Structure 1
Amino acid sequence: MRVWVARPEPGASRTGAALAGLGHAPVVAPVLAVRAVETPLPAGPFDGIILTSANAVAALETRLRNVPVFAVGTRTAERAREAGFGPVTEGPGDGAGLAALVARHLPAGGRLLHVAGEDRKPEPAAALTEAGFRLVIHIAYQAQAVADLPAPVGDALMAGTLEAALHYSSRSAETAVSLCEAAGHGGAFRALNHYCLSADVARTLEQAGIRVHFVAAQPRETALLDGLVR
């Protein structure tokens, strides 16, 4: 199956390789580009570091190497360990689950550094604040939409050779919809099989009147790719 991977790099190429390993033909064409925000991290001390994306790891400084890290999922945890930070505790893949994990490991009232993107969900910050933690949020990166629909995707939609699309975030799904509509390929895009990492992502497409083919049981890439096998 020919599948569009619209997520940003470096994850897009990694997903493309995974698809190829499963026998699919990936079209790696991100609709968002991640850019670092060059601002210094807040002063400590911190009782823990919250990471909701692997993109946040690059912003960490050596002075934080021994502060406990709570990572949203497997890839983010791996990146933090590879960079020499931790101890790292891996979360279940979603913000609410990550907040519950932190609450089990740290006493309420602790001061936490949440290194995040400009476009972020309410969780885990909302639940942690309600539980009595003091959050310091540092915006380390932003995802900017590309100006136009990537040519390989437009060509494939026009030729009718694209069969599916993988959606990893609400922002990338929303951007994909907008770019396809603007390029005159809205109908062809809607006809694809749409595979979503979570219910939040699927909701973005459904609100645009697009039928979702599959939603991963857990917000993990392995669970998403399982849908293609089925």
Structure 2
Amino acid sequence: MRVWVARPEPGAARTGAALAARGHTALVAPVLAVRPTGAAVPEGPFDGLLLTSTNAVPALRDAAVLLRGLPVFAVGARTAALARAAGLGPVREGPGDAAGLAALVAAALPAGGRLLHATGTARKPEPAASLTAAGFAVVIVEIYAAAPVLTLPASVGDALAGGGLDAVLHYSRRSAAVALALADGSGHGGAFRRLRHYCLSADVAFPLEAAGIPVHVVAARPRETDLLDALAPRLGDGAR
């Protein structure tokens, strides 16, 4: 299949390589650009570090020494692996979603603990809301920002215009919404809607479904392997 990877780097290139290894043709063209904000990490002490995105790990590079030895609660496998590689931890791996991460923290630490959540400028209420309700103090540091690109990447516009894409992978609600807005704004909204849309979770699928776009697959678990496994080897092979 010919698949557009709209997620930001550095994950986009890795996903493109994984698609190629499975026999697909990947068009890597992110619609979000992730950059560190330069925000300083607040003073501790803290009882744990919350990581809800892989994007937070490189943004914490300059603060790694200050955070060394602090227990890390990572949302999923990839974030956990990056945290370990960066010398953070000990690391506990969550099931891939914010609710599961909150449950992991609540089971591991006594209520009343102070947690540092390294996150982006556009963040969701969870897991901070559930942890606060459970008696934890959650301190937020907006360590990175994901800015939308201003126009649809030319390679994507050309592919949509020429029928050169079969599917698109969506990894976040925000990138899905931005991809839709860019396609509509460039006059390629119809072609975008006709693609097979593969979403990492129901939350990611929300802006597409709200716009009346059929979502081909929502991963059973919020893991990339589940999403890639859902892609048919060739257009029409086992696709539903």
* 1:104 equivalent in alignment to 2:143: no
Segments of 4+ in structure 1 off by > 3 A? none
* 1:51 equivalent in alignment to 2:54: no
Q: 2: CA distance between counterparts of 1:48 and 1:39?
A: 19
- 3-state DSSP of counterpart to 1:61: helix
Extract unaligned runs of 5+ from structure 1.
none
8 Å Cα contact 2:64-2:88 kept in structure 1: no
Q: 1: CA distance between counterparts of 2:189 and 2:170?
A: 16
Q: 1: CA distance between counterparts of 2:208 and 2:53?
A: 22
Q: Specify the code of the residue in structure 1 equivalent to 2:45.
A: P
Once the two structures are TM-superposed, the CA of residue 91 in structure 1 deviates from its matched residue by 0.4
Q: 2: CA distance between counterparts of 1:105 and 1:64?
A: 19
| 1:76 corresponds to which of 75, 79, 83 | 79
Q: 2: CA distance between counterparts of 1:124 and 1:80?
A: 18
1:228 corresponds in structure 2 to 231
1:202 corresponds in structure 2 to 205
1:120 corresponds in structure 2 to 123
RMSD of aligned residue pairs (Cα, Å): 0.8
Q: Specify the code of the residue in structure 2 equivalent to 1:106.
A: L
TM-score for the superposition, normalised by structure 1: 0.98
- 3-state DSSP of counterpart to 1:219: coil
1:22 corresponds in structure 2 to 22
**Number of equivalent positions:** 230
Percent of residue pairs bearing the same amino acid type:
67
- 3-state DSSP of counterpart to 2:55: helix
1:5 corresponds in structure 2 to 5
- 3-state DSSP of counterpart to 1:120: coil
Once the two structures are TM-superposed, the CA of residue 61 in structure 1 deviates from its matched residue by 2.8
TM-score for the superposition, normalised by structure 2: 0.94
Q: 2: CA distance between counterparts of 1:63 and 1:147?
A: 36
- 3-state DSSP of counterpart to 1:228: coil
Q: Specify the code of the residue in structure 1 equivalent to 2:41.
A: L
1:175-190 residue pairs with structure 2 within 5 A? 175-190=178-193
Extract unaligned runs of 5+ from structure 2.
233-237
